[in-house]
Amino acid sequence: MTTAETAPTGQPGAQDAARRSYDVLIVGGGPAGLSAAEAAAKGGARVALLERQKEIGYPIHTSGGSWISDMKALNIPSELYYPIRSVFFLSPHREVRFDYPDPVCCVLDVRGVYQHLAGRAVAAGANLHPNSPVERPIVEDGKVVGVVAKDHRNRITEWRAPVVIDASGFSCTLSTRANLHAGYKRYGYGAEYDFYAPNYDPNSLYLIMGSQVAPAGYAWAFPRGKGRVRLGVGVIRPDVEADAREYLDTFAERLPSLAPVFAGASPIEYHTGLFPSEGVVERFVGEGLIATGDAAGHGSTLVGEGIRFAIYSGQMAGAVAAEAVRAGDSSAQFLARYDRQWRARFGREMDISYIVNQRIAAWSDEKWDEGIELLKRLTPAQAAELLRGDYSAGLFLGVLRRNPGLLRTGARKFFELAMQRLGRPGPLSDADLATSNA
Ligand SMILES: Cc1cc2nc3c(=O)[nH]c(=O)nc-3n(C[C@H](O)[C@H](O)[C@H](O)COP(=O)(O)OP(=O)(O)OC[C@H]3O[C@@H](n4cnc5c(N)ncnc54)[C@H](O)[C@@H]3O)c2cc1C
């Protein structure tokens, strides 16, 4: 055991508390926390991770849509994701299909991936503690120095460390209590059945928009192999009051055209979850504290995609935490290198995704039909880049070249804003499109 365990502290309310000391404490065993644990342990730190649930990867609060190139880059074994060959976008009166003979997107075995990440963290030397809900941060002289948690026998324990990482997801338990940020007021709210659906085409993934199926959001059907399909509905609160659970339960009546593919299907699991949908928080670090993953708004608000970003962000957070331990400096000033690294890598894409999300969340059914018409003019590669939020000046100019009429619509402002974020300020003209080699 790589921890120092000491007698009670004698502080008020903590008379019975055991005390444990580590270098880095992580709250939350989702993809962000598990990746942070692996990275911090690899950086030489003594790491403990506290997860309130009894099992890593259960219950599931996510649909697991992701991208094969990222899973490869993150060394996730290929048996833990299912490749997708056709992507359908449906609006009330339109449909477009993109085929990927060499699949680019995938659906994760979510529990399998999270348990794989847990195994990696343990192999690197981290100590994982399921069934250990964290109640609050310990703050001394304005600095986070640990947390108070219950253990699996309901005993209160004080966990102390110079660096504490909040990877508690949407609840952002520590960040809000340590006044790093105020939590989320705008959020995606999703409900999903995981079906056994023997008649569903296992190659086809659907994204479905429109007020009938998912006001200010979208519905999805994600196949994941062996006859399993996740069918879900997500809406954005408080943009709309709609209850995603009700829309999911009435999906077959709302979209009868898709009902036959679910003939003979039955749910095996039911999932619900919340996803922050108001952009990246202003500060990721405080004195002794780092927030990562959904706890810092690190997912893409474009389609509510956060798993790969949580893994990348957790890895960065864990590495910086270990650096801070080695340097003996866990001040906000030292930890701010994490903030800078993250923004340099993901900041622009996340800003643009949020701009797009706010626009499309307000689209009418007619606007969605127009949007699908526009998508029809893209190549499968361009559609995938847009969906991934892999924005570049070349991508936007490429889209405009195939749809020059867009420069004469309200979308022009968006493209100019996006190009500005990508470092190409100034008005766009037909000449830009003619001269670009996108
Ligand atoms: C309905 C829905 C569908 C989604 N679909 C996709 C998708 O298809 N693809 C995709 O990439 N992303 C998707 N996301 C987003 C994705 O799930 C998140 O971005 C991702 O899970 C964030 O990872 P995380 O580690 O930051 O947080 P989480 O995965 O939320 O993990 C946080 C962990 O902290 C634990 N915890 C919380 N509070 C405490 C506490 N007090 N003490 C101890 N432990 C605590 C929780 O139990 C949990 O295990 C979806 C989200 C929702 C809600």
The reply to whether 398 falls in a domain is yes
Same-domain status, 207 and 257: yes
Chosen domain end from 276, 297, 314: 276
Is the CB–ligand 1 distance for residue 23 below 6 Å? no
Is the CB–ligand 1 distance for residue 304 below 6 Å? yes
The reply to whether 69 falls in a domain is no
- What is the predicted pLDDT for the residue at 412? 80
Cα–Cα dist 343/345, whole Å: 5
Query: Which residues, including other chains, have CB under 8 Å from residue 379's CB and lie 6 or more apart?
Result: none
* Cβ atoms of residues 230 and 192 within 8 Å: yes
Query: Which residues, including other chains, have CB under 8 Å from residue 413's CB and lie 6 or more apart?
Result: none
Distance of CA 68 to CAs 64, 199, 374, Å?
12, 25, 26
Q: Whose CA is nearest to atom 50 of ligand 1?
A: 62
Same-domain status, 146 and 264: no
Same-domain status, 157 and 258: no
Is the CB–ligand 1 distance for residue 171 below 6 Å? yes
Q: Choose one of 56, 63, 308 to mutate for the ligand 1 pocket test, by most ligand atoms within 8 angstroms of C-beta.
A: 63
Is the CB–ligand 1 distance for residue 293 below 6 Å? yes
Is the CB–ligand 1 distance for residue 398 below 6 Å? no
* Cβ atoms of residues 269 and 194 within 8 Å: yes
What string of DSSP letters covers 365-394? HHHHHHHHHHHHTS-HHHHHHHHHT---HH
State the DSSP code for 284: S
The reply to whether 73 falls in a domain is no
Helix (H, G, I), strand (E, B) or coil at 177: helix
- Per-residue burial over 62-73, b if 16 or more Cβ lie within 10 Å, else e, is bbbbbbbebbee
The reply to whether 71 falls in a domain is no
Q: What is the number of structural domains in the chain? A: 3
- β-bridge partners, 305: 300
Q: Where are the beta strands (DSSP E) in 243-402?
A: 266-276, 285-286, 289-291
Same-domain status, 194 and 265: yes
The reply to whether 341 falls in a domain is yes
Structure tokens given for 366: 């007619």
Cα–Cα dist 211/198, whole Å: 28
Instruction: Give the tens place of pLDDT for each residue, 369-385.
Output: 999 998 998 999 999 99
Instruction: Give the ligand 1 atom nearest the CA of 133.
Output: 42
Q: How far is the CA of 161 from the centre of ligand 1 (A)?
A: 24
* CA angle, residues 54, 59, 61, in degrees to nearest 5: 140
Q: Choose one of 168, 171, 236 to mutate for the ligand 1 pocket test, by most ligand atoms within 8 angstroms of C-beta.
A: 168
Pairing of strands 18-21, 156-160: parallel
Same-domain status, 137 and 195: no
Instruction: Give the ligand 1 atom nearest the CA of 292.
Output: 26
- What is the predicted pLDDT for the residue at 437? 45
Q: How far is the CA of 389 from the centre of ligand 1 (A)?
A: 20
Same-domain status, 235 and 374: no
Same-domain status, 204 and 244: yes
Same-domain status, 268 and 369: no
Cα–Cα dist 404/111, whole Å: 44
- What is the predicted pLDDT for the residue at 435? 58
Nearest alpha carbon to residue 139 among 101, 110, 166, 109: 166
Instruction: Give the ligand 1 atom nearest the CA of 135.
Output: 41
Is the CB–ligand 1 distance for residue 71 below 6 Å? no
Cα–Cα dist 303/91, whole Å: 15
SS3 helix, strand, coil % of the chain, rounded to 5? Answer: 40, 30, 35
Same-domain status, 306 and 372: no
- What is the predicted pLDDT for the residue at 329? 98
Instruction: Give the ligand 1 atom nearest the CA of 114.
Output: 29
One-letter amino acid identity for 244? A
Q: Whose CA is nearest to atom 26 of ligand 1?
A: 293
Same-domain status, 261 and 364: no
Is the CB–ligand 1 distance for residue 305 below 6 Å? yes
Is the CB–ligand 1 distance for residue 273 below 6 Å? yes
Chosen domain end from 222, 244, 276: 276
Q: How far is the CA of 170 from the centre of ligand 1 (A)?
A: 7
φ, ψ dihedrals at 44, nearest 5°: 95, 5
- What is the predicted pLDDT for the residue at 419? 83
The reply to whether 268 falls in a domain is yes
- Which helix or strand (DSSP H or E) is residue 304 part of? none
Q: Is the peptide bond before 59 cis (omega within 30 degrees of 0)?
A: yes
* Cβ atoms of residues 292 and 167 within 8 Å: yes
Give the domain CATH number at 38.
3.50.50.60
- What is the predicted pLDDT for the residue at 426? 75
Same-domain status, 233 and 145: no
Q: Whose CA is nearest to atom 13 of ligand 1?
A: 305
Is the CB–ligand 1 distance for residue 227 below 6 Å? no
The reply to whether 65 falls in a domain is no
What string of DSSP letters covers 87-130? EEEE-SS-EEEEE-SS--EEEE-HHHHHHHHHHHHHHHTPEEES
Same-domain status, 214 and 308: no
Is the CB–ligand 1 distance for residue 108 below 6 Å? no
Is the CB–ligand 1 distance for residue 66 below 6 Å? yes
The reply to whether 75 falls in a domain is no
Chosen domain end from 248, 276, 304: 276
Mark residue 293 as left, alpha or beta (left: phi above 0; alpha: psi -120 to 50; beta: remaining). left
Cα–Cα dist 57/31, whole Å: 9
Is the CB–ligand 1 distance for residue 131 below 6 Å? no
Domain span including residue 376: 353-435
Q: How far is the CA of 310 from the centre of ligand 1 (A)?
A: 9
Cα–Cα dist 104/67, whole Å: 6
Low pLDDT (below 50) residues in the chain:
1-15, 436-438
Structure tokens given for 406: 């867009």
Structure tokens given for 245: 């659970």
Is the CB–ligand 1 distance for residue 52 below 6 Å? yes
* Cβ atoms of residues 83 and 102 within 8 Å: no
Q: Whose CA is nearest to atom 3 of ligand 1?
A: 62
| Tokens 């304005």 -> residue | 142
